[in-house]
Amino acid sequence: MGDRKYSEAEIERHLSEGLEGWGFTDGHLVREFETGDWRRGSLLAGAIAFLGEAAFHHPDIVLGYPALTVRLRSHDVDGITDRDFELARKIEEVATWRPTAGDGPPDDWIT
């Protein structure tokens, strides 16, 4: 597919540029979201599954109580590529989005 595989130093640099909640562990981009309960975790898992399907890039999702863990890796190149960073950014955007005004979720919705 021609995707460039990033070195560990490049991965850490990318993570520090807008993906602060994410880490690099065991060859994967990893983010744990504190969901607080099963309902929130299930809703977030569904949203992440939708994003992964839309990107045709499927993350590993571990749904537990009270957290959800996402792991990204481009298996076809055995490493981290632009596809992983792009999907991580979209997951972060969707998972942490809040309305600018009015009634929204509680402050502890998902962190």
pLDDT in tens, 46-77: 999 999 999 999 999 999 989 999 999 999 99
Residue type, 21: G
Residue 106 located in a structural domain: no
**Domains contained in the chain, number:** 1
Cα–Cα distance measured from residue 101 to residue 36, given in angstroms and rounded to the nearest whole number: 23
Counting residues of the chain whose pLDDT is more than 70, the rounded percentage is 92
Residue 8 located in a structural domain: no
CATH number at residue 42: 3.30.1360.20
pTM of the model: 0.90
Residue 37 located in a structural domain: yes
Query: By the 8 A CB rule, do 71 and 59 touch?
Result: yes
Residue 90 located in a structural domain: yes
Query: By the 8 A CB rule, do 77 and 83 touch?
Result: no
Residue 12 located in a structural domain: no
- Domain containing residue 26: 21-96
Helical segments of the chain, H only = 8-16, 38-55, 82-96
